[in-house]
């Protein structure tokens, strides 16, 4: 039953690696200015896991985290601005006194924009993990592989969408996020975008 070469053992090993990587990500993201390098390290390590490479979660994560700090800090600023702008827009739309139809159109526009920008962010971090990231390459890849890009964005937006859709379930969503949420999302992104260039 617990054959070290069996599928069950491999699945448990993968789950344990994802939990460890998730804790590394959360710890290194606590100062919000470091969320860029933390995201890059998480994306890179989950790509390695998706290719079934040997990963030493803590050591490899923090090695990758320290590799490109200036670029990572710039990515942090972009991610934080993206989050703040989206949150502000969401709050403004919810407080606006508009008809139901106008609300639906504006909220759909915001959702579409967030989805496309998240797909671009997914590609940027995947390509950066491969050592070839540029905004132009990320845009080209996101457009060229649009269906997979949208699925990758959905994987990354699952937790925020759950927070909005299930406001009374904060404890369960927080527990999921602390245990495995971001690492699982980036692992799914790696599976979706892994063999594409």
Is pTM, for the whole model, over 0.75? yes
In whole angstroms, what is the distance from residue 23 CA to residue 62 CA? 12
Three state DSSP letters for the chain? CCCCCCHHHHHHHHHHHHHHHHHHHHHHHCCHHHHHHHHHHHHHHHHHHHCCCCCCHHHHHHHHHCCCHHHHHHHHHHHHHHHHHHHHHHHHHHHCCCCHHHHHHHHHHHHHHHHHHHHHHHHHHHHHHCCCCCHHHHHHHHHHCHHHHHHHHHHHHHHHHHHHHCHHHHHHHHHHHHHCHHHHHHHHHHHHHCCCC
Domain locations along the chain:
7-193
Here the tokens at position 67 are 């590799």
pLDDT tens for the chain, 197 residues: list them: 566 677 877 788 889 999 999 999 999 998 888 899 999 999 999 999 998 888 899 999 999 999 878 888 888 898 899 999 988 988 898 888 888 898 899 889 999 999 999 999 999 999 988 887 788 999 999 999 999 999 999 999 998 888 888 888 989 988 988 898 899 999 999 999 987 65
């Amino acid at each position: 039953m617990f054959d070290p070469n069996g599928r069950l053992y491999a699945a448990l090993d993968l789950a344990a690696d994802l939990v460890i990587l998730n804790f590394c990500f959360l710890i290194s993201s606590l100062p919000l200015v470091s969320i860029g390098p933390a995201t890059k390290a998480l994306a890179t390590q989950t790509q390695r896991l998706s290719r079934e490479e040997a990963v030493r979660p803590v050591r490899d994560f923090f090695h990758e985290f320290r590799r490109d700090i200036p670029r990572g800090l710039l990515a942090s600023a972009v991610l934080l601005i993206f989050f703040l702008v989206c949150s502000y827009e969401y709050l403004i739309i919810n407080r606006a006194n508009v008809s139901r139809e106008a609300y639906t159109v504006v909220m759909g526009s915001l959702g579409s924009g967030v989805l496309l920008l998240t797909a671009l962010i997914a590609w940027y971090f995947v390509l950066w993990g491969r050592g070839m990231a540029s905004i132009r390459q990320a845009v080209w890849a996101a457009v060229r592989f649009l269906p997979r890009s949208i699925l990758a964005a959905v994987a990354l937006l699952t937790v925020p969408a759950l927070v909005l859709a299930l406001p009374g379930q904060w404890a369960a969503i927080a527990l999921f996020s602390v245990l495995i949420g971001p690492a699982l999302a980036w692992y799914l992104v790696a599976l979706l975008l892994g063999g594409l260039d």
